[in-house]
Amino acid sequence: MCTGGCAKCLGITLIPLAVLCTLANILLFFPGGKVAENKLHITDEVWYFGGILGSGVLMIFPALVFLGLKNNDCCGCCGNESCGKRFAMFSSIIFAAVGVLGAGYCFVLSAVAINKGPKCYTGTDWTYPFQDGNYLANHTLWNECQSPENIVPWNLTFFSLLLIMSGIQAVLCGIQVVNGLFGTICGDCKCCGCCG
């Protein structure tokens, strides 16, 4: 497969992942599927917008660049058509690095949120009753959260989805870094015989 075609496939995959990460982060603003009575009752990591900014908005830029690489009809430089395509592939490496950073931000936030557990009402105060991930193996501890209803599985589900999807995004952007290097060195398959 040509380097431009590979980049287009990666871009097509990144766009739905970015939309899903954004939706997952938005749903986390509704603990247990209900509107929060007070914004202080929402888990802190939700307010860092890992899914909206990191794996959402920051991922759209690389995805759009990757989508445009296959049809990049840059006329080249100094009469050499492949020079323009090589520069486009080199620039895609920079955008892929931005994607890795955004996905990494979301990945780290999600891992911290899963380990820390949700903010909930324990009968006396709104706090984090699970500090060291101890609730993951012991489901009976979930009863410590009296309100919002089903907050533990709600947060665990959506932060786990964000963790998985941002991990996939980071891998896809990493693949584009390698693909971009091949495209920079060899050009696209239409321009250079060494890659296809």
Helix axes 58-69, 81-116, angle to 10 degrees: 150
Q: Express each pLDDT in 32-72 by its tens digit.
A: 999 998 999 999 999 999 999 999 999 999 999 999 886 66
How many Å apart are CA 7 and CA 21, to the nearest integer?
21
Alpha helices per DSSP H over 28-116:
58-69, 81-116
HEC profile for 4-53?
A: HHHHHHHHHHHHHHHHHHHHHHHHCCCHHHCCCCCHHHCCHHHHHCHHHH
Q: Express each pLDDT in 9-34 by its tens digit.
A: 999 999 999 999 999 999 999 999 99
Q: Which residues, other chains included, contact 90 with Cβ-Cβ below 8 Å and sequence gap of 6+? A: 180, 183, 184
8 Å CB contact between 160 and 114: yes
Q: Sign of dihedral through CA atoms 87, 90, 92, 98?
A: negative
Q: pLDDT band for position 79 (50/70/90)?
A: very low
8 Å CB contact between 36 and 122: no
How many Å apart are CA 60 and CA 37, to the nearest integer?
32
Q: How far is CA 58 from CA 31, 61, 112, 126, 144, in A?
A: 25, 6, 20, 32, 37
Q: Which of 146, 162, 132, 126 is nearest to 43 (CA)?
A: 126
Cis amide leading into 148 (omega within 30): yes
Q: Express each pLDDT in 162-192 by its tens digit.
A: 999 999 999 999 999 999 998 888 876 654 4
Q: Express each pLDDT in 86-132 by its tens digit.
A: 888 899 999 999 999 999 999 999 999 999 999 999 999 999 999 77
What is the pTM (predicted TM-score) of this model? 0.88
